[in-house]
A and B are shown apart, each in its own frame.
Chain A
Amino acid sequence: MAATFGGVQNRRQTAAWQLVWYLLMIAISVVTVVPFLFMASTSLTQSFTMMTYPPTLIPENPSLANYYEIIFTFQDGMFPRWFFNTLLTTVAITAGSLFLNTLSGYIFAKKEFFGKNFVFALLLATLMVPRAVTLIPSFLIVNRLGLFNTYWALILPELSTAFGIFMMRQFISSLPSELIEVAKIDGAGELRTFWSIIVPLSTPAMAALGIFTVINSWNAFLWPLIVLRANTMRTLVVGLATVQSEFNIDYGLVMAGSVLTVLPMLILYILFQPYFVEGLRMGYGK
């Protein structure tokens, strides 16, 4: 697409430079990805061989023992429980926030109402508020609602986000307003218009936001660390982090757990990669 970028050099020079750029990018990619190969490699080793020096990427006696242990015997099946907690909350957050963010994005994009600009500016301003400020009162609110140590503590605060509303508004603004008018002439009510016109046309943006949301919820750390204290309620990430600092469990086991945590996101990432890039572009708004 962009082979002509800035280029007016003669052809041989260009080819030489291209080679340099490819090699450079391959080197950068290797540096980016190789640390994860260490993770995979360690997960296949019994913990004591972790201490081998020099470090190796290919384990000498690979075994799936760590995977067996983390899935079946670790703390009476605690890992599958964490997996279930993570899956459930991620699905709930993603479904709920996709619906609410799209609905709100639609209202901000296509409706005129009293106080719209003020409310929208207020929403955007919340993006600059650091987590450290909202953390304590949010925790107290969740507590007062009696949601401490429940799935709702994770789900409720994430059901709508300023970022998500902003992103959907950006996208829906670019849809032609005539379609909505036509629906209205046909006698469709507000919700009907939203559901049968806006939602189908917004699927690319929704897919992008959805994947974002899935990854953020799956990987969330600080908030779940605070509101879910019971071991059985923990998410994968929090479980792995706390178990490691509380009991000195072995590294191979943690790495096997880490691989199993990253794997679903990796699959999703590979399947939906185009939407990712689109999502970032739309979020940025240009």
Chain B
Amino acid sequence: MSVTSTAQPALRAAAPATKPRRAWRKMRESLLCYLFLSPSLIVILGFSIVPLVWSIYYSFTKGGMLGRHTFVGVENYVKAFAHPIFLQTLINTTQYAVLTVPIVILLALLVAIVIFQLPKMQGFFRGTVYFPLITPVVIAANIWAYIVNRDFGPLNHLLSMVGVPRIDWLGDPVWAIPAIVMMEIWRGFGFYVIILFAALQSIPKELYEAARIDGAKGLRIIWSITIPLLRPALGFCFIMATIFNFQLFDAVYVLTKGGPAWKTATVSWYVYQQAFQADNVGFASTMGVVLLVIILTLSLMQMRFFRSDIEY
């Protein structure tokens, strides 16, 4: 990357630039770069960075979509942490993530390893496991609503064949979260399969050869070579999965609208509900900021944990 800038002056060595002229040229080049970047930067500034700062400000105020906001200090934060529904959505969101993230990544890891050692049809199987991800969550959730329907859904039908009584998946407070988690796993695991598969491909073959010469076999090779070398990729998967699953919204919107009795509502859902239906914008912003802090903390912790010194 840094090679670029040194190459150009070298070409013009015949006319050595004086110091101020070089500084001027550097500044002009920087300005030109920013000129080219400006459309992108304006969009990202306008719809990510400014909104972020704005939201943090709003989280200390009271007010609706329109009209003035009055500054109330940390009142919203105090209120949030004593607010039964918000606390419930925090617990629910954590539950979704804690259930989904490990299962989805473990499943993806197994599937990626299995596909990787197949001599043929690797592309086909990668294609099928990724397929649900090209469909809108809304539609996938709709289909899922049918699959887990109490009276005529295929899932209860299958379960009844082994003697399990009918479960009202989406209506029962105990089963609603697992039903949505199952959908998230079914829909999402293909993403991690593709990433882990790519990481598997990038592990040099010589390492396996060496292990084999040392007498290591199947599972042992996977455990002591594959998994450690997949560490950065696994870290990436964990971070992405955490960020995604802490923001669960679409599935809740379609499947349960947060019910029964807020038992499936997520923080994102409640922010949406408070901001766009209850016009409680200040408080909604506060909850959003709390979510941001949680996601940032978890991401940074994971980055630290998965930091790897192994180079290959």
Contacts and interface: CB of A to CB of B under 8 A. Distances in A.
Interface residues of B, number: 116
A284 B119 contact: no
B contacts with A: majority SS = helix
Contact of B128 (A18, A32, A112, A181): A32
Nearest to A215: B134
B35 to A, nearest CB: 9
Contacts of A177: 3-4, 7
A51 B152 contact: yes
A180 interface: yes
Interface centre among A7, A136, A221, A245 (most CB of B within 10 A): A136
Given A55-B153, A133-B292, A185-B11, A221 B217 contact: no
B178 interface: no
B259 to A, nearest CB: 13
B48 A126 contact: yes
Contacts of A254: 142
B190 interface: yes
B226 A258 contact: no
A128 B296 CA distance: 7
A18 B118 contact: yes
B143 to A, nearest CB: 5
Given A122-B49, A132-B267, A132-B271, A181 B186 contact: no
A104 B249 CA distance: 31
Interface stretch (A58-66, A75-83, A152-160, A199-207): A152-160
Contacts of A52: 152
A141 to B, nearest CB: 6
B253 A135 contact: no
Given A185-B11, A221-B138, A38 B154 contact: yes
Interface in B248-305: 249-250, 253-254, 257, 267-268, 271-272, 275-276, 281, 284-285, 287-289, 291-292, 295-296, 299
Contact of B51 (A38, A141, A240): A141
Contacts of B50: 137, 141
Interface in B193-246: 194-195, 197-202, 205, 208, 212, 217-218, 221-222, 226, 232-233, 236, 243, 246
Nearest to A25: B125
Interface string B39-73: 11101101111111011001000000100000000
Contacts of B200: 2
Interface stretch (B13-21, B98-106, B109-117, B167-175): B109-117
A282 to B, nearest CB: 9
A111 B29 contact: yes
A281 B134 CA distance: 17
A180 B4 contact: yes
B132 A32 contact: yes
B205 A4 contact: yes
A54 B195 CA distance: 38
B43 A237 contact: no
Contacts of A118: none
Nearest to A99: B39
Interface in B127-171: 127-132, 134-140, 142-144, 146-147, 151-154, 157
A29 interface: yes
A20 B3 CA distance: 52
B152 A53 contact: yes
B136 A219 contact: yes
A114 interface: yes
Given A33-B128, A55-B152, A269-B134, A136 B114 contact: no
Nearest to B36: A107
Interface of A: 1-9, 18, 21-22, 24-25, 28-29, 31-33, 35-36, 38-39, 42, 50-55, 100-101, 103-104, 107, 109-116, 119, 122-123, 126-141, 156-157, 159-162, 165, 173, 177, 180-181, 184-185, 190, 215, 218-219, 221-222, 226, 237, 240-241, 244-245, 251, 254-255, 258, 261-262, 265-266, 269, 273-274, 276-277, 280-281, 284, 286
20 contacts: A18-B119, A21-B118, A25-B125, A42-B146, A51-B152, A128-B296, A128-B299, A129-B52, A130-B291, A132-B291, A134-B55, A135-B51, A135-B271, A137-B52, A141-B50, A156-B43, A181-B8, A241-B253, A269-B131, A277-B197
Please give me the 10 A-B residue pairs with the lowest Cβ-Cβ distance, nearest first.
A137-B51, A5-B117, A137-B54, A160-B40, A219-B136, A113-B33, A134-B51, A113-B30, A29-B128, A157-B47
Given A101-B40, A136-B285, 18 more contacts: A6-B217, A25-B115, A28-B111, A32-B132, A38-B146, A38-B154, A42-B146, A54-B157, A111-B29, A111-B33, A113-B30, A126-B44, A133-B52, A160-B43, A180-B4, A219-B134, A237-B139, A276-B194
